[in-house]
Amino acid sequence: MKRMKAVLLTLVTVSLGACATTEFKSVWKDPSVQHLEFQGKRVATFVVTKDVARRRAAEDALANELQKRGVRAAPGYQLIPDENLTNKEAIRQRLEAMGIEGAVVMRIVDRRQEVSYVPPSGPYYGSFYGYWDYGWAATASPGYMRSDTIVSVETLVYSVPQDKLLWGGVSETTDPGKLDKFVREVVDATAKEMKKAGLISGQ
């Protein structure tokens, strides 16, 4: 029975460790900006990557998340032809002609593996003698090594008419899953940080 409990505990711990979690490590906002409200305004979403398929899928996901918050968001690939992606003057002219007021840009800046040791846990660790019995009994089901994928994403919010950075931050996501879920987590975390900074209201 004790061994079965240890196995179940290990499985639960592994499953929890596999869930993606996103948190911001650093944020910045323009001190002159007291409130930012893009609701009802046209905003372009951009994801910087040379992988065309992933860029389009991520820009779609990012635009969808902003649309849920009342923003008239459009994925960048629908606004800017691929051949103009590196021509900033062509991009400037197209965005101005279409009345785009804001741009949200995401870029993966780091991806790394972190290996950690997860020790066996239980109520026996508080006492030396309690642990002594448990430790010998648990040698058949010891702790384990866990490898996590950490992805760092830079998210920037610009005013297009002013050509000015309004807000920026770097987040870390542990073990990201599917692309749309990954983008949703980053957008949710971004919205919370911006709300915390008093830049947006709502969610």
Query: Which residue ranges make up each domain of the chain?
Result: 20-114+147-196
Beta bridge partners of 105: 46, 156
pLDDT score of 8? 27
pLDDT score of 15? 34
Q: Which residues of the chain have pLDDT under 50?
A: 1-18
Indicate the Cα dihedral angle 121, 122, 127, 129, nearest 10°: -90
Range 20-114+147-196 classified under CATH 3.40.50.800: yes
Tokens of 180: 């749309």
pLDDT score of 94? 94
pLDDT score of 70? 83
Segment 129-133 long-range contacts (CB within 8 Å, at least 24 positions apart):
none
pLDDT score of 90? 93
List the 144-159 sheet strands across, edge first: 21-29, 164-174, 144-159, 102-118, 42-47, 72-75
pLDDT score of 199? 66
Helix (H) / strand (E) containing 77: helix 76-79
Cα three-residue angle 176-179-181, rounded to 5 degrees? 70
Classify residue 83 by its DSSP letter: G
Quote the CA–CA distance of 173 and 112 in Å, as a whole number.
Answer: 11
Task: Tell me the pLDDT tens digit for each residue of 59-102.
Answer: 998 898 888 888 899 999 999 999 998 899 999 999 999 999 99
**Cα separation values, 128 from 9, 47, 120, 132, 134, Å:** 21, 53, 15, 6, 10
What's the mean pLDDT when you consider all of the chain?
Answer: 80
* Size of the chain, expressed as the number of residues it contains: 203
Helix (H) / strand (E) containing 112: strand 102-118
Q: Which pairing describes strands 21-29 and 164-174: parallel, antiparallel, or unpaired? A: antiparallel
